[in-house]
Amino acid sequence: MHNYTRTELYIDGAWVAPQGTGTIEVIDPATEQPIGSVPAGNADDVDTAVAAARKAFDPLITLAERRDRLTGVITAMEKRLPDIAETITAEMGAPIRIAQTVQTQVPLAVARGFADVLDTFDPEERIGNSLVVREPYGVVAAITPWNYPLYQVVAKVLPAIAAGCTVVLKPSNEAPLSVFEFVEALDDAGLPSGVVNLVSGPGAVIGERLAEHPDVDVVSFTGSTGVGARVGEIAGRTIKKVALELGGKSANVILDGADLATAVKVGVGNAFLNGGQTCMAWTRMLVPRARYTEALNLMESAVAKYTVGDPWDPGTRIGPSASKGQYETVLGFIERAQRDGARLLTGGADMIRDTGYYVAPTVFVDVDPDSELGQEEVFGPVLAVIPFDDDEDALRIANGTPYGLAGAVWAADDATAIAFARRVQTGQLDINGGAYNPAAPFGGYKKSGIGRELGRFGFEEYLQTKSLQLPA
């Protein structure tokens, strides 16, 4: 049985009563009804958790101890994945088919990737007469979003543990229940007290106190660019390391000569995955003007397969938006796009179910690259299609936003696609349908963030480097 009424925080190896007195209600976006609640902690709870993490931090922790901790966590987490998948569906509306795969199995692959990195990690290196030592940073504040609640936590907490750091974790208010279940797994794994601590509560209270806390050494934040800027500003006052994984407006560039049918089909699937609530979603599809009509015909057929409905139905591909606020935000984008002159191909802002925060999969064509829809992250099932004249025009459009998180390039051959991708200002690009790699670094250019997650690069974000200059 799930426990969706949480009354305690996890601090210093125990479930404890919060010092804050409020609660945060968790709403099922498919029914618009409350399903549970978590404590609204306060700054005193943060201070207690940080003190526990500081006390638990051992800068001389051995690799063997780190491996034991990581192995225990992965084993305990894997046992709970079926339950966590159900909770993710309940609290943020991810279709069960997505919750049981992308939302839980991908985090497991990511976690195992960190274990592989640690197995081959050597903390010491000789460079001339110097012994270069990589040491754990210290106390990590991990602030995570609601769209992939387990994945985002795993991408921060697991490499921190592997590096020998300790953690204070703040989950989102919209989807915190799965994170509480994850922390129960950490408790089952027998981590030493204080290694991982959990404090839920308002971002303006918990997040800002973590960012400013003098005993926090690293802040790792995933969320909107606006909030990320605020976190970075506050953290900068105490000169601590900040890693930011922020928004995106990724371009799916289909060059002339590419397999158009495949590129459109895969592009639509990517844009609508998780109801479009994905920072790396390819939300701008760039199509050669000469093949534009053909692409639109293919698109209508592809979109028709994305059924909207009850997230518990295995046939559903798009569930509700995760919250009322996000639902209203997406509808606002759709209404303004029509006002700004984009042509609606399919979908729109009309209500499609009597209950629940459901948005129809929506495609706008003839989108002005400089319009709001061409520039800003929607975070819903909304795709902007933009024609281009030649490769240079495509490159101008692809690079023409403040973001640079992800994207794709399709071409007649890999060499052509790679040559184009080298000129795109973004952190990750799929080449002719290249598969997701949980060991490859992920992060953004420009306003999409600072730092990298996943694999060796994500692990090294939690290490700092010391040089010992040895006598000749």
CATH number at residue 69: 3.40.605.10
Determine whether 245 is an active site residue: yes
What average pLDDT is seen over the chain?
97
Phi/psi of residue 338, nearest 5 degrees:
-65, -40
pLDDT at residue 220 is higher than 90: yes
Compute the distance between CA of residue 61 and CA of residue 138 in angstroms, rounded to an integer: 11
* CB contact set of 390 (below 8 Å; sequence gap of 6+): none
pLDDT at position 472 is 79
C-alpha span between 357 and 384 (Å, rounded): 21
Does one domain contain both 38 and 131? yes
Find the domain containing 281 and state its range. Answer: 251-437
3-state secondary structure of 220: strand
- Judge contact between 459 and 140, C-beta under 8 A: no
pLDDT digits (tens, 9 = 90+) for 147-168: 999 999 999 999 999 999 999 9
Tell me, yes or no, whether 238 and 211 share the same domain.
Answer: yes
Position 15 in a domain: yes
Amino acid 312 reads W
236 & 339 share domain = no
User: What SS3 class is residue 54?
Assistant: helix
- Say what percent of the chain tops pLDDT 70: 100
**Could you tell me which residues are beta bridge partners of residue 284?**
251, 384
Q: Which of 86, 208, 245, 461 is catalytic?
A: 245
Is residue 4 a part of any domain in this protein?
no
Find all residues with CB under 8 Å of 192, minimum gap 6, and list them: 13, 56, 69
Beta bridge partners of 382: 362
SS3 content of the chain, % helix, strand, coil (to 5): 40, 20, 40
Residue owning tokens 């890693």? 243
Torsion of CA 276, 278, 280, 281, to 10 degrees: -10
Same domain, 122 and 203: yes
Does a structural domain hold residue 2?
no
Task: Answer yes or no: do 263 and 129 share one domain.
Answer: no
Query: Do 428 and 464 reside in the same domain of the chain?
Result: no
Please check whether residues 380 and 419 belong to one and the same domain: yes
Q: What is the CA radius of gyration of the chain?
A: 22
What are the residues whose beta carbons fall under 8 Å from the beta carbon of 292, sequence distance 6 or more? 387
- Kindly state whether residue 442 falls inside one of the protein's structural domains: no
Average pLDDT over residues 233-258: 97
Say if CB 454 and CB 438 are below 8 A apart.
yes
Do 327 and 452 belong to one domain?
Answer: no
Catalytic annotation, pick one of 86, 208, 279, 453: 279
Query: For residue 44, what are its two tokens?
Result: 């005193």
The answer on 425 and 400 residing in a single domain is yes
How many whole angstroms separate alpha carbon 414 and alpha carbon 434? 10
Average pLDDT of the residues in 354-383:
98
Q: Are residues 215 and 274 in the same domain?
A: no
Say what the pTM is: 0.96
Cα(23)–Cα(103) distance, rounded to whole angstroms? 26
* 274 contacts 102 by C-beta, under 8 angstroms: yes
Cα 411 from Cα 398, distance rounded (Å):
15
Does 443 reside within a domain? no
pLDDT at 1: 77
Above 90 in pLDDT, residue 6?
Answer: yes
pLDDT bucket at 52, cuts 50 / 70 / 90: very high
Q: Which of 68, 92, 158 is nearest to 438 (CA)?
A: 158
Closest CA to 267 of 279, 288, 250, 292: 250
Q: With contact defined as beta carbons under 8 Å apart, do 394 and 253 qualify?
A: yes
Are 296 and 369 contained in the same domain?
A: yes
Pair of tokens at residue 302: 């592809």
φ, ψ (nearest 5 deg) of residue 243: -120, 125
Q: Does some domain include residue 230? A: yes
The pLDDT score that the predictor gives to residue 85 is 98
Q: Is the dihedral of CA 318, 323, 326, 331 positive or negative?
A: positive
Tally the domains of the chain. 2
- Mean pLDDT in residue range 212-216: 98
* β-pair partners for 254: 410
Give the mean pLDDT of 68-83: 98
Q: What is the CATH number of the domain that holds 343?
A: 3.40.309.10
Residue 327: what pLDDT?
98
Q: Is there a domain that residue 221 lies in? A: yes
The verdict on 172 and 266 lying in the same domain is no
Tokens of 81: 């994945």
Q: Is 1 a member of any domain?
A: no
Q: Helices marked H in 304-429 — which ranges?
A: 324-339, 372-375, 391-398, 414-421
Residues 6+ apart with CB under 8 A from 36: 4, 5, 6, 25, 26, 91, 177
Angle at 264 between CA 322 and CA 348, to 5 degrees: 45
